[in-house]
């Protein structure tokens, strides 16, 4: 949406700068003084007494606003760098401008802030009244005449611009109305779920007599919450909560029943639902924060093994409820999942081969210049890739590791003490690749490399500004997924197969890749088992597979063509 033009620079405009404005900005990044760059390319547009620096700053603000409207806050942050960083950011900004020129205008989302799409003056007036998102605003526009009269600082002209904006996108208005009209129980995450009394389980069909129950819970939500509180591991609690959350929402919204009223037929129907959640618009959506109105319980249909895992967690929940004499029966008892046997062969497609890993790792070099990553974020990413690949840690172990957890033994070997699944303590060998990556990253952070000078509580993996509350296992997961998708895009033209693989990859593949490569390089099976801290060598042995290319070549050599 364009607004008034001030001396050749569209003030706070969402439009893309003109060619002459871009030429002036590029000249400034190339080393020209601000006055010379403006005089050479914007001389006719410059007003008497106007600062050249102010004109260039206005162009940069315009670009940043353009980037924000296209949901590229990372590029907006890069373009808004301090003036003193002009030289070191020049190349990255030039690449960002080229990328912005190719980006299509995205469709507005109901959760977008009003200042992303609307004129700045109107947005400030709306925010002062507590109207912060398009969802907050859109339900007020069609409801009554002169709706804007109740918003101080917003006049008829600004209101007309807002009405024109919504008129151009009727789908946006309908989505926002649906959000406001929908009751609180409609697809709310666990912590915000309000269960209607008629389906809360207080009078569940299969409730045991309350006089003999060991729980003080009066309904299903409270009973499940007690079960979740038993899990001391935060990761386990999140995983179990997700399954309980999905089941309770499905029971209420699709079957109209409480958890303690579900039958075996319901359990069978839920198994089918997990394979294909429907209706999709209600249940499936892209990853969003749990506080977002666009959050959904699923990102797609579940694979057989994921369905089996979900049913095993739910089965454990019901068995515990029966043990506490809260419920009389387990409707999921005996419900099996075809094709989800855990004794089958390991899926080798969830491992990066040596060649694939080499390609993936090379894309991380210089990523801050071509991928929109901050310099600190790129340095941390490269450390994570090397350290994780060399150690095979779990995500929670990565974020919990401290310098004080590293110690040498009597033979001079270096170990990292960790707390793994089930709060079990163990230690992981730190090979040269891991130690070298750590030394380099400590130096980049301005921290001492000598162990005697370390602060024991210093995290190996620090939180950065963009992490807000600091680095967590879920945040690390998101960072790695972002990198995998970036690498897929970078490798699309080089190796389409690897690019497609990266689009499906999850950070847990790092652990698979570590174990597979270690065994392929001759490390003993028991050594890899101990380093991964598996309870059984059978668990580790699934990584004893050869690369399919190598296998095909060796079989081909063993059975050559018959010579006539």
Can you name the residues that pair with 244 across neighbouring β-strands? Answer: none
H-type helices in 197-295, by residue range? 220-229, 234-250, 264-275, 280-283
Q: Do the domain assignments include residue 163?
A: yes
Q: What is the per-residue pLDDT for 53?
A: 86
Q: For residue 230, give the 3-state DSSP assignment.
A: coil
447 φ, ψ to 5°?
Answer: -105, 155
Q: What is the per-residue pLDDT for 264?
A: 93
State whether 200 and 283 are in the same domain: yes
CA atoms within 13 A on the CB side of 299: 7
State whether 314 and 241 are in the same domain: yes
Number of domains composing the chain: 4
In angstroms, what CA-CA distances link 18 with 9, 15, 48, 63, 165? 9, 9, 21, 11, 24
Nearest in space to 221 (alpha carbons), one of 254, 185, 255: 185
State whether 402 and 480 are in the same domain: yes
Residues 325 and 214: their CA atoms lie apart, in Å, by 7
Q: Which long-range contacts (CB under 8 A, 24 or more apart) does 263-268 make?
A: 263/331, 264/331, 264/332, 264/333, 264/334, 264/335, 266/331, 267/331, 267/332, 267/335, 268/335
Residue 205: other Cβ atoms inside 10 A: 14
State whether 359 and 302 are in the same domain: no
Q: Do the domain assignments include residue 494?
A: yes
73, 102, 131 - which closes a domain: 102
Q: Do the domain assignments include residue 32?
A: yes
Supply 435's token pair. Answer: 């130690």
Q: What is the per-residue pLDDT for 242?
A: 93
State whether 36 and 155 are in the same domain: no
State whether 81 and 146 are in the same domain: no
Q: Do the domain assignments include residue 14?
A: no
Nearest in space to 263 (alpha carbons), one of 196, 335, 193: 335
List per-residue pLDDT tens for the chain, 564 residues long: 433 333 333 333 457 888 888 888 888 888 888 888 888 888 766 655 678 888 888 888 888 888 877 778 888 888 888 888 888 888 888 888 888 888 776 777 777 788 777 888 888 888 887 788 877 776 555 444 566 766 778 887 888 888 777 777 776 666 555 544 333 446 888 888 878 888 889 889 999 998 899 999 989 999 999 999 988 777 788 889 999 999 999 999 898 899 999 999 999 999 999 999 988 888 998 877 787 778 899 988 888 888 988 999 999 999 999 999 999 999 999 888 876 554 444 455 678 888 889 888 888 888 888 767 888 888 999 999 999 998 888 888 888 889 999 988 888 888 888 887 767 788 888 889 989 999 999 999 999 999 999 999 998 988 886 655 568 887 888 888 889 998 888 888 888 888 888 888 888 888 888 888 887 787 777 777 777 776 555 555 555 554 444 555 565 665 566 664
Q: What is the per-residue pLDDT for 241?
A: 92
Q: What is the CA radius of gyration of the chain?
A: 29
- For residue 425, the surrounding DSSP H or E stretch is strand 425-429
Nearest in space to 29 (alpha carbons), one of 555, 119, 21: 21
Q: Do the domain assignments include residue 486?
A: yes
Q: What is the pLDDT of residues 279-306, one digit of tens each?
A: 888 899 887 778 777 889 998 888 888 8
State whether 310 and 361 are in the same domain: no
- For residue 514, the surrounding DSSP H or E stretch is helix 509-520
Q: What is the per-residue pLDDT for 348?
A: 56
Global pTM value: 0.48
State whether 70 and 34 are in the same domain: yes
Q: What is the pLDDT of residues 229-286, one digit of tens each?
A: 988 777 788 889 999 999 999 999 898 899 999 999 999 999 999 999 988 888 998 8
State whether 138 and 213 are in the same domain: no
Q: What is the pLDDT of residues 6-15, one digit of tens each?
A: 333 333 345 7
Q: Which of left, alpha, beta for 13 (phi over 0: left; psi -120 to 50: alpha)?
A: beta
Residues 46 and 54: their CA atoms lie apart, in Å, by 11
Q: Do the domain assignments include residue 118?
A: yes
State whether 248 and 359 are in the same domain: no
Burial (CB < 10 A; 0-12, 13-18, 19+), residue 171, is exposed
State whether 267 and 406 are in the same domain: no
In angstroms, what CA-CA distances link 372 with 20, 104, 157, 221, 323? 25, 18, 38, 43, 53
Can you name the residues that pair with 402 across neighbouring β-strands? Answer: 459
State whether 91 and 130 are in the same domain: no
Q: Do the domain assignments include residue 83?
A: yes
Lay out the sheet containing 425-429: strands in order across. 406-408, 414-419, 425-429
CATH of residue 515's domain is 1.10.443.10
22 φ, ψ to 5°?
Answer: -65, -40
In angstroms, what CA-CA distances link 173 with 137, 291, 372? 9, 21, 32
Residues 295 and 132: their CA atoms lie apart, in Å, by 18
Residues 23 and 324: their CA atoms lie apart, in Å, by 73
233: Cβ contacts below 8 Å, ≥ 6 apart: 421, 422, 423
Q: What is the per-residue pLDDT for 246?
A: 94
Residues 515 and 500: their CA atoms lie apart, in Å, by 22
Residues 415 and 554: their CA atoms lie apart, in Å, by 38
436: Cβ contacts below 8 Å, ≥ 6 apart: 386
Q: Do the domain assignments include residue 70?
A: yes
For tokens 């605003």, the residue is: 137
- For residue 386, the surrounding DSSP H or E stretch is helix 375-391
Q: Which domain holds residue 245?
A: 190-324
Supply 481's token pair. Answer: 């997924």
- Give the single-character DSSP code of 113: B
Residues 503 and 496: their CA atoms lie apart, in Å, by 11
């Amino acid at each position: 949406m364009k607004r008034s033009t001030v001396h050749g620079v569209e003030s706070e405009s969402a439009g893309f700068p003109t060619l002459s404005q871009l030429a002036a900005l590029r000249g400034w990044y190339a080393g020209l003084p601000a006055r010379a760059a403006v005089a050479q390319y914007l001389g006719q547009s410059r007003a008497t007494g106007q600062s050249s620096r102010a004109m260039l700053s206005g162009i940069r603000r315009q670009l940043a606003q353009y980037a924000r409207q296209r949901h590229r806050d990372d590029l907006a942050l890069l373009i808004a760098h301090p003036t003193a960083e002009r030289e070191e950011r020049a190349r990255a900004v030039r690449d960002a401008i080229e990328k912005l020129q190719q980006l299509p205008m995205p469709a507005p989302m109901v959760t977008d802030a009003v200042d992303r799409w609307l004129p700045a003056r109107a947005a400030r007036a709306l925010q002062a009244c507590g109207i912060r998102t398009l969802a907050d605003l859109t339900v007020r526009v069609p409801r009554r005449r002169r709706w804007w009269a109740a918003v101080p600082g917003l006049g008829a002209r600004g209101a007309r611009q807002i009405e024109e904006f919504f008129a151009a996108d009727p789908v946006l208005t309908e989505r926002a109305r649906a959000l406001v009209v929908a009751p609180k129980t409609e697809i709310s995450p666990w912590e915000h779920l309000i269960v209607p009394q008629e389906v809360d389980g207080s009078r569940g069909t299969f409730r045991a007599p309350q006089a003999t129950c060991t729980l003080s819970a009066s309904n299903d939500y409270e009973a499940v919450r007690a079960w979740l509180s038993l899990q001391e591991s935060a990761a386990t609690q999140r995983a179990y909560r997700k399954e309980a959350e999905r089941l309770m929402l499905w029971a209420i919204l699709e079957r109209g029943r409480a958890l303690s009223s579900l039958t075996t037929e319901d359990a069978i129907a839920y198994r089918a639902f997990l394979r294909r959640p429907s209706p999709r618009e209600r249940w499936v959506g892209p990853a969003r924060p749990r506080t977002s109105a666009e959050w959904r319980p699923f990102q797609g249909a579940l694979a057989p093994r994921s369905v089996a895992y979900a049913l095993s967690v739910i089965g454990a929940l019901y068995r515990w409820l029966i043990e506490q004499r809260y419920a009389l029966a387990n409707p999921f008892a005996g419900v099996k999942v075809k094709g989800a046997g855990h004794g089958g062969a390991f899926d080798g497609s969830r491992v990066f081969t040596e060649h694939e890993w080499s390609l993936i790792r090379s894309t991380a070099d210089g990523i801050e210049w071509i991928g929109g990553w901050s310099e600190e974020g790129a340095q941390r990413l490269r450390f994570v890739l090397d350290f994780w690949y060399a150690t095979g840690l779990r995500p929670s172990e990565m974020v919990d590791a401290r310098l004080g957890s590293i110690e040498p033994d009597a033979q001079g070997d270096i170990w990292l003490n960790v707390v793994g699944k089930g709060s079990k303590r163990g230690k992981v060998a730190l090979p040269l690749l891991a130690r070298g990556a750590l030394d380099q990253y400590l130096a980049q952070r301005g921290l001492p490399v000598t162990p005697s000078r370390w602060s024991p509580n210093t995290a190996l993996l620090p939180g950065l500004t963009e992490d807000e509350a600091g680095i967590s296992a879920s945040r690390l997961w998101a960072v790695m997924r972002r990198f995998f998708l970036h690498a897929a895009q970078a490798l699309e033209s080089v190796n389409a197969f690897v690019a497609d693989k990266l689009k499906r990859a999850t950070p847990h593949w790092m652990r698979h890749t570590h174990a597979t490569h270690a065994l392929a390089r001759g490390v003993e099976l028991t050594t890899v088992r101990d380093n991964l801290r598996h309870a059984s060598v059978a668990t580790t042995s699934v990584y004893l597979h050869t690369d399919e290319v190598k296998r095909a070549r060796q079989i081909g050599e063993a059975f050559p063509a018959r010579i006539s």
